[in-house]
Structure 1
Amino acid sequence: MCGRFALDDKVNASITEFVTSTGRNHNDWTPDWAGRWNIKPTQQIAVILDDAKADELRVEPAHWSLVPPWSDSLRTKFPTFNARTEGITSKPTWKGPLKSKRCIVPASGYYEWTGEKGAKTPWWIQPAEGIIGFAGLYSWWQDKNLADDDPARWSLTATMLTMPTVDHLASIHDRNPVALPETFWEQWMDPGITGNQDLVDEAVNASQGEMEALGYHRVMPFKASDDGPQMTAPVD
C-alpha cells in the first residue's frame, strides 16, 4: 500500500520536462508546487492526465482519495486512496474510472513501516534520480449543495494502484504502489484505450523493473504533523 509520500519542489521541472517532451498540447502548468514530505490521504496532490475533450495533457491538483460520483460527500465510508490491481474491474468504485480516467501520480518517494504497533520503523523508498510515476485513477465529484457557477462545485479526486510486492521490497511490506516507467505513462493515460484487467496487468508487469530499482533506507519516526526534507534523512 502507500499511505504517505513526498513531492519535493524539484517535481516542477520533472513534470514540465515530461509534458513538453511528448509534443502534445498541454495546459499552462505553473511550476509553483511547494515541496511536501508527508502527504496524507485526502490532502492535495498533483496528477497528470490526458484530457480527451481538450486534446491535451493536463497537470492538476487533486484530492487524494477517489470519490465516486454517487457519494454524498468527499468523505467516503471506506479508504479509497489506494486501489488493489487484483480483480479491479469487479469493484464499482474503480471500474468506471479505469475505462478512460487514468492518470499518473508523480512522487519523489514514499514511506512504509515495519515492526509492531507502537514501535514501528519508517522506511523511505525512492528512485536514484528523477521522480516516480504511480499509476492512478481519477474521478470528478460534484457537490450538489453548491451553485452551478461556484468553482468549488467540482472536485478532482484520485487514487493510486497497488500490487503484490516485488522481491526487492518484500521485507518492508507485502504490497507496493504500481510505479510505471516513463515510456508507459502516455499509454496508461490514453483515454482512447479502454481500460480493463489486461491493461492493469500490463502496467503491473511494466512496474516490476521500476520497483526493483528503487532504493530504501530507514528514517527517524515522525508525527502526522511533521514535514520537511529532514524526514527522508537516513538513520544508521
Structure 2
Amino acid sequence: MCGRYAITRRDDELADQYRIDQVLGEPPGPSWNVAPTDPVRVVLERVEDERPQRQLRTVRWGLVPSWAKGPGVGARMINARIETVTEKPAFRTAAARRRAIVPMDGYFEWQKTPARKVPYFLTAADGAQQGLAAAGLYELWPDPSRPADDPARWLWTVTVVTRSATDALGHIHDRTPLLLPPDLWDEWLDLGTTSVDDVRSLLDAVPEPHLLPREVGPAVGNVRNNGPELVAPVG
C-alpha cells in the first residue's frame, strides 16, 4: 500500500508541469509526511463552459463514494488495487469517469524485518525533478447537512491506485503506487475514456516504475513529524 508520501513542489511548478488551466482551492503547503485524510493537491479534468479544463485542486486523501453514509469511510480507502479497481462498487465509477493524478516527490514504505519495520523513501531512479505522478481516482460526496445549493456541500476525495511490486521494490513491500509516465498523463485524464475495456487497457499500458529506495529514519512513522529531515538517508 501507499500510506505516506512527500510533496513539496509549489503550485506554479505543478501548473507548469501538468499544463493546468485552473488552480482551485487553498494549497496545503509543502509536506514531507502526507498522511491519510490530509488535504492534498491533485490534477484532474472537468468540463467547464462546454470544454475540458485541467484543474489543480485540493481534495482529501481517502476516497468517500457518493453513496457512503458518512465521510469516515475515507480513512480506510486511501488505496485502490489495480486488479479490482474496475469491479469494486467503491471504485468502478470513479475509474471510468473520475481519474486524477496525485503529484508526489516520493513515497514511503516500510520493510518488515525480524527486529522492526524499516522505513524507505522511494523516488524516481533517474533523479528527475518532476517527481512522481501517481494514478488516482476522485469522488464527490454530498454532505446531507448542507443545502443543495451550497458549494461547500461537496467533499472532494481521492484514492491512489496500487499494483504489485516486483524486482528491487518487492523486497521492501509487495505493493507500489501505479506511477504514470508523462506520455500517459493525457490519456489517464481523458474524459472520453469511460468503458471498462478501455480503462483496463489503459491500466495495463502503464509500465513498471524504476525507483530508487533509500532507508530513512523512524521519525516518519509519527504523523505529527514533518520536515526535510524525514527524507534524509540514514547512515
TM score, norm. by length of structure 1: 0.88
Counterpart selection for 1:108 from 105, 112, 127: 105
Indicate if the aligned counterparts of 1:136 and 1:158 stay in contact, CA closer than 8 A: yes
Partner of 1:49: 44
Spell out, residue by residue over 1:16-62, the C-alpha distance to the aligned partner (whole angstroms, 9 max, x if none): 21233xxxx71145895521011111111111001124421011001
Q: Say if 2:75 is the partner of 1:72.
A: no
**Residue type matched to 1:145 in 2?**
S
Give the superposed CA RMSD: 2.2
Partner of 1:90: 87
What does 1:1-236 align with in structure 2 at a 5 Å threshold? 1-8=1-8, 10-20=9-19, 26-28=21-23, 32-54=27-49, 55-76=52-73, 79-116=76-113, 119-127=116-124, 128-129=127-128, 130-196=130-196, 198-208=198-208, 211-212=209-210, 214-222=211-219, 223-236=222-235
Deviation at 1:161, TM superposition (A): 0.3
Indicate if the aligned counterparts of 2:119 and 2:217 stay in contact, CA closer than 8 A: yes
Runs (4+) of structure 1 moved beyond 4 Å?
29-33
**Residue type matched to 2:225 in 1?**
D
Indicate if the aligned counterparts of 1:65 and 1:157 stay in contact, CA closer than 8 A: yes
Q: How many residues align?
A: 228
Instruction: Tell me how far apart the structure 1 counterparts of residues 11 and 30 of structure 2 sit (CA, whole Å).
Output: 10
Structure 1 residues 77 and 177, CA, compared in 2 at 3 Å: closer, same or farther? closer
Mark the runs of 5 or more structure 1 residues left unpaired by the alignment: none
Higher strand share: 2
Deviation at 1:186, TM superposition (A): 1.0
**Residue type matched to 1:93 in 2?**
A
Identity value in percent:
31
Instruction: Tell me how far apart the structure 1 counterparts of residues 114 and 191 of structure 2 sit (CA, whole Å).
Output: 42
Mark the runs of 5 or more structure 2 residues left unpaired by the alignment: none
Instruction: Tell me how far apart the structure 2 counterparts of residues 179 and 44 of structure 1 sit (CA, whole Å).
Output: 20
**Residue type matched to 1:167 in 2?**
D
Structure 1 residues 195 and 160, CA, compared in 2 at 3 Å: closer, same or farther? farther
Spell out, residue by residue over 1:186-224, the C-alpha distance to the aligned partner (whole angstroms, 9 max, x if none): 10011111152553453354231xx22x21100000122
TM score, norm. by length of structure 2: 0.89
Indicate if the aligned counterparts of 1:89 and 1:197 stay in contact, CA closer than 8 A: no
Instruction: Tell me how far apart the structure 2 counterparts of residues 131 and 13 of structure 1 sit (CA, whole Å).
Output: 15
Instruction: Tell me how far apart the structure 1 counterparts of residues 91 and 75 of structure 2 sit (CA, whole Å).
Output: 13
SS in 1 for 2:156: strand
